[in-house]
Structure 1
Amino acid sequence: MARPDLNLLLTLDVLLEEGSVTRAGERLALSPSAMSRQLARLRRATGDPLLVRAGRGLVPTPRAVELRDRVRGLVREAEEVLRPADHLDPAELSRTFTVRSSDGFVERFGPELVAEIGHAAPEVRLRFVRKTKKDTDPLRDGTIDLETGVIERALPPDIVSRPLFTDRFIGVVRAEHPLRAGKITAARYAAARHVHVSRRGMGEGLVDQALHPTGHRRDVVTVVDGFGAALALARASDLVATVPQQHTVILRQGMHSFDLPFRAPEVTVSLLWHVRLDADPAHRWLRGRVLDVCAIGRTVKDE
């Protein structure tokens, strides 16, 4: 069985509303002969004459009267489907978003983000999950809605990203650490005992690559998988933690932070999402809030 031409629904809607082949043709930008052919097609499709002559005009058949409201409803519904989504009202939005982030992001930006979203959209819920490995499958299968992180290689074409901020590494020690006094040179920095952060358990990273041109190497005595763990160890011992500045503002409170005595490595933290959510009004609104909060956060200085 051949599929019906759904374009005929629009023609039928206009015909039944106007009750005139001429006026319907004018509205649809069709000539009288082309409009007459459309009416003939409608008659064959419905098995009914639809409009019949009565004096100088046309009147609808009972079948046409029966179809009028149904056809109008179908056309209006189709128009709604095929137009962009209406303006989003966050106050009426009820949805849970899952955000996967690296260690430190929630501590640094979570409070402001939750507060702003709670004020504008009381029925929106945020679920933060920790990133344990770098893969895009959770974005692709919908397990998570957004992700923050450093992009180390080209992303797949179905993953969209936007830079959030650039973070630079600094050194952090407990308040009573020997490095608190005197000038910190590359030699003093390297000779201290260090805690290194590596999700994959590697013994060296960006900081070591930046330090090597000085002719020194860090004395790394322990490796952990997150900045929070590194700072916890440094707070309770004489270990030196080298961490991103913005990510760890909250976690470093009460500790002594210092600029590295060599060119500090920098990383760009980005926001990632799947292309299927790119045009979704609610998701677009959430992305805007994350961008706003991170922009404000960049202006906050260490105490």
Structure 2
Amino acid sequence: MSKWTTANIPDQTGRTAVITGANTGLGYETAAALAAKGAHVVLAVRNLDKGKGAVDRIRQTTPDADVVLQELDLSSLQSIREAAEALRTNYPEIDLLINNAGVMWTPKETTADGFEMQFGTNHLGHFAFTGLLLDNLLPVQGSRVVTVSSMGHRIRAAIHFDDLQWERRYNRVEAYGQAKLANLLFTYELQRRLTGAETVALAAHPGGSSTELMRHVPAAGILTPVVERLFQDAAMGALPTLRAATDPAAFGGQYYGPDGLLQQTGHPKVVGSSDQSHDTALQQRLWAVSEELTGVTFPV
């Protein structure tokens, strides 16, 4: 059986894809691949200067690429609402929403709204952004919401409802695990709510990928030679996301990751997630808390 690559992406002409964190790493590779297949791609980025650089790089490879920028800071609910309003106005129909942006193992800090940075950006930011855009996906046949999680959802991961914002203590690894577990709980609960709708929700993880996400890893500079040998590049790491977003055979609730040893590297396939991520009561409790914290409710 042949391995899935970007060559398997169907023609995307006429489709609109919104990708968060698309100016570098996995998001950039996802945007470049979709643009090369004819999609109109919106790079939703915090840093517009870096975003312009990403647009230029995509157009160097695909001169007729249809790519634009939208400012979005997922650590600010105000920015999320402003970006969503602009996108709702400009794109009555959205085919793909790819929740890719994220931070990993950051020092203790909070978002503009007082949320712990990893939980606030990786989960609550995308929760709010998706809820505000979903009306523009629901009428579109074949529309998808793809959220990027991580193998970190298995590492010391739990939803600490008694201290979601890590105000009593802080462990950067556990906080990342909580955020990435939340991404999967969100995806599975969203898919349950979308039952019977045109839109489906899927998740993906990149395995071990060498990207800027590693910048907060302690001794990252020292580890770089090791990372380069053991991890795959961002283009390979983006393949699970791309397959979840475009494979005609994919369906709601699936989780894609690399097919290699321990899902570290390789080509994308359907993979399993932790038992905890499939806990329906946990999914629903997190959903209710996320609505309360963000003030965003979903039309499903």
TM-score range, shorter chain: under 0.3
TM-score by length of 1: 0.23
Query: Which has a greater percent of helix?
Result: 2
Q: Which has the higher strand share?
A: 1
Asked which structure has the greater RCO (Cα within 8 Å, sep 6+), the reply is: 1
TM-score (norm 2): 0.23
Who wins on radius of gyration, i.e. which is larger? 1
